[in-house]
């Protein structure tokens, strides 16, 4: 039996301009400049610079009234544009490989790169100072190419031997690779090419002059690394028959070492992060003053030359097929230019309105710089206040920086959830974390406070939170457990 059903389906189709706006909003200043540069290069109908109002209005009139006598197949309608094409990753524009702080929902987190010699090339150049056979050089070059951004080679020798055979055509054994490792370990910066933290620290210590403190430090790392990392100081004192002062001096020697030798080289393979504040907040006569970075407000206009071409076609008596094809291209470029200009204006307004709302919401903090005065604030609080979508506020908060009298801050740092203190008041979790951080800084490092004791102290200060919550906040602050905070 054939049955018929009537089904209503509500769907929303984003316009190309809305898509452009969402993408533009999440771009920080530097990435926005690259995006602007790309658009100017790709669209000849878009020009940078100021144009008189009359000329601009004329251009827009000519553009808006350029429908002429196209038939339906020739007219470019917004509905015909596939949204998926706008969101496709098949052709990633240049700016997407140069941005440094995208929002959390963006998988691409690339940042501007620094010109110069790469870390790998820096290491490879040093191999030329050793006398190596062709096979030894090939193995050394392969090992150098396996060094990660921290300066380590985190692969087993057996895997390296297999890869040399399959990918380089170099047939060798583990003993030969181990010998070449000793050469790589002589490269600068000291510790590069290590296979573990223990080996990294040991390499650096063995390069130092053998003072008593250094020799003891070498013995600790080479012979009692596990006890050292767990801070079992009493066992170390017994094992090496030394005084607390000797142990303290040796530990200070170890603490001066670099656990990530790759990070010390400015021209390494890692991208170099450059943060440019998108906003600035100043205190003027006791009041907060917000400004948007001027680099976010370019002066753009539609090309008068392209508008004139459209006008010329409109006035032409005879219109050939090639002229119609050309004018379709021109109209497409003019559409894109107009959309882009409007999207930039909306971007500027959205950024300023959002940051202004955040600034006023956290006025007490911005006037004092005291993190304990940060109010509980979630994305919805700001979204409701400015009547925008939560996702829009998220794009601004997750990817933008603001220059304040207290340093440059990532805007999302001003957001936090709330909890109730013993007086029934709503307080920010940021406030509690700040107090927790202060308590730990002031503790006796010979007897660090356990999470249970920290919870008791916070309760005495009016913040009744559980031990497991203290542990969570401590981990979020990147503070180790009590045993690992212990010092002699």
Q: Are 17 and 311 in contact (CB under 8 A)?
A: no
How far apart, in whole angstroms, are the C-alpha atoms of residue 246 and residue 241?
10
Summarised one tens digit per residue, pLDDT across range 8-55 is 555 455 566 676 778 888 888 888 888 888 888 888 888 887 665 444
Q: How many CB atoms lie within 10 A of CB 7?
A: 4
Backbone angles phi, psi at 462, to 5 degrees: 100, 15
Q: Is the peptide bond before 189 cis (omega within 30 degrees of 0)?
A: yes
Structure confidence by residue, pLDDT tens digits, 294-347:
888 888 888 888 777 776 766 665 666 667 777 788 888 888 888 888 888 999
Longest CA span, the chain:
103
CA 452 and chain centroid, separation? 35
Asked whether the predicted pLDDT for residue 187 surpasses 90, the reply is no
Average pLDDT over all residues of the chain: 76
Q: What is the pLDDT of residues 385-409, one digit of tens each?
A: 999 988 889 888 888 999 999 889 9
In this prediction, residue 353 carries a pLDDT of: 95
Q: Stretch 254-260: mean pLDDT, rounded?
A: 84
Alpha carbon separation from 28 to 12, 139, 342, 379, 393 (Å, rounded): 28, 43, 18, 19, 14
DSSP 488: -
The token pair at 304 is 């008068």
Q: Could you give the 3-state DSSP secondary structure of residue 175? A: helix
The confidence score (pLDDT) of residue 178 equals 86
The single-letter DSSP state of residue 152 is B
- The helix/strand/coil state of 465 is coil
Residue 171 corresponds to which tokens in the numbers above?
């047939």
Q: Label the pairing between strands 401-404 and 279-284.
A: parallel
Q: State the pLDDT at residue 363.
A: 93
pLDDT digits (tens, 9 = 90+) for 273-286: 567 899 999 999 99
| 70 band by pLDDT with thresholds 50, 70 and 90 | very low
Phi, then psi, of 102 in degrees rounded to 5: -75, 170
pTM of the model: 0.51
Phi and psi, residue 279, nearest 5°: -135, 165
What is the per-residue pLDDT across 42-61, written as a single tens digit (0 to 9) for each? 888 888 876 654 444 444 44
Joined tokens for residue 447: 């007897």
CA-wise closest residue to 175 among 188, 189, 160, 185: 160
Query: Does 282 or 75 have the greater pLDDT score?
Result: 282
H or E element that contains 231: none
**In whole angstroms, what is the distance from residue 152 CA to residue 146 CA?**
8
Confidence of residue 71 (pLDDT cuts 50, 70, 90): very low
- At 40 the pLDDT is 87
Which of 222, 160, 164 has its CA nearest to residue 193? 160
In this prediction, residue 265 has a pLDDT band, given cuts at 50, 70 and 90, of: low
Per-residue pLDDT of 205-230, as tens digits, reads 888 888 888 888 888 888 888 888 88
Residues in the chain: 488
Using one digit for the tens of pLDDT, what is the confidence trace for 233-245?
888 888 888 888 8
Residue 1 confidence (pLDDT) above 50? yes
d(CA 13, CA 3): 30
Secondary-structure percent of the chain, ordered helix, strand, coil, rounded to 5: 55, 5, 40
What token pair was written down for 370?
A: 């005291």
Contact 458, 416 (CB under 8 A): no
Question: What pLDDT was estimated at residue 272?
Answer: 43
Question: Per residue in 86-110, pLDDT tens?
Answer: 333 333 333 333 333 333 444 333 3
List, for residues 348-359, the tens digit of each pLDDT value.
999 999 999 999
């Amino acid at each position: 039996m054939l049955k018929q059903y009537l089904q209503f389906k509500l769907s929303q189709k984003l316009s190309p301009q809305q898509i452009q706006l969402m993408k533009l909003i999440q771009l920080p200043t530097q990435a926005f400049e690259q995006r602007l540069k790309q658009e100017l290069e790709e669209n000849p109908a878009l020009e940078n610079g100021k144009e008189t109002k009359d000329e601009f209005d004329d251009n827009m009139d000519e553009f808006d009234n350029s429908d002429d006598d196209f038939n339906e197949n020739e007219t470019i309608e917004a509905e015909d544009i596939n949204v998926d094409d706008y969101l496709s990753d098949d052709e990633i524009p240049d700016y997407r490989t140069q941005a440094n702080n995208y929002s959390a929902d963006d998988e691409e987190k690339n940042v501007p790169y620094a010109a110069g010699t790469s870390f790998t090339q820096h290491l490879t150049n040093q191999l030329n100072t050793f006398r190596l056979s062709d096979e030894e050089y090939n193995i050394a070059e392969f090992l150098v190419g396996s060094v990660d951004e921290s300066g380590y080679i985190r692969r087993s020798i057996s895997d390296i031997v297999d890869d040399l055979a399959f990918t380089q055509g170099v047939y060798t054994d583990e003993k030969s690779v181990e010998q070449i490792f000793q050469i790589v370990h002589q490269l600068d910066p000291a510790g590069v090419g290590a296979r573990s933290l223990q080996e990294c620290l040991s390499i650096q210590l063995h390069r130092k002059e053998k003072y008593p403190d250094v020799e003891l430090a070498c013995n600790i790392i080479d012979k009692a690394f596990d006890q050292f990392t767990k801070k079992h100081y009493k066992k170390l004192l017994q094992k090496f028959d030394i005084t607390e002062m000797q142990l303290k001096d040796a530990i200070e020697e170890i603490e001066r070492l670099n656990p990530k030798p790759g990070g010390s080289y400015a021209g390494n393979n890692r991208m170099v992060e450059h943060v440019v504040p998108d906003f600035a907040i100043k205190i003027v006569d006791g009041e907060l003053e917000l400004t948007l970075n001027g680099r976010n407000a370019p002066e753009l206009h539609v090309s008068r030359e392209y508008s004139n071409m459209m006008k010329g076609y409109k006035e032409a008596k005879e219109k050939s097929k090639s002229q119609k094809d050309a004018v379709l291209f021109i109209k497409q470029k003019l559409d894109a230019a107009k959309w882009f200009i409007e999207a930039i204006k909306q971007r500027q307004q959205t950024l300023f309105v959002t940051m202004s709302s955040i600034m006023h919401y956290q006025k007490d903090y911005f006037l004092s710089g005291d993190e304990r005065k940060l109010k509980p604030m979630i994305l919805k609080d700001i979204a409701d206040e400015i009547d925008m979508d939560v996702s829009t506020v998220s794009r601004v908060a997750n990817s933008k920086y603001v220059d304040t009298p207290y340093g440059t801050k990532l805007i999302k740092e001003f957001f936090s959830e709330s909890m109730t203190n013993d007086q029934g008041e709503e307080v920010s979790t940021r406030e509690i974390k700040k107090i927790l951080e202060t308590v730990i800084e002031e503790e006796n490092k010979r007897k660090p406070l356990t999470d249970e004791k920290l919870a008791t102290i916070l309760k005495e200060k009016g913040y009744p939170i559980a031990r497991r919550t203290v542990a969570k906040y401590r981990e979020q602050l990147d503070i180790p457990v009590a045993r690992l905070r212990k010092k002699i």
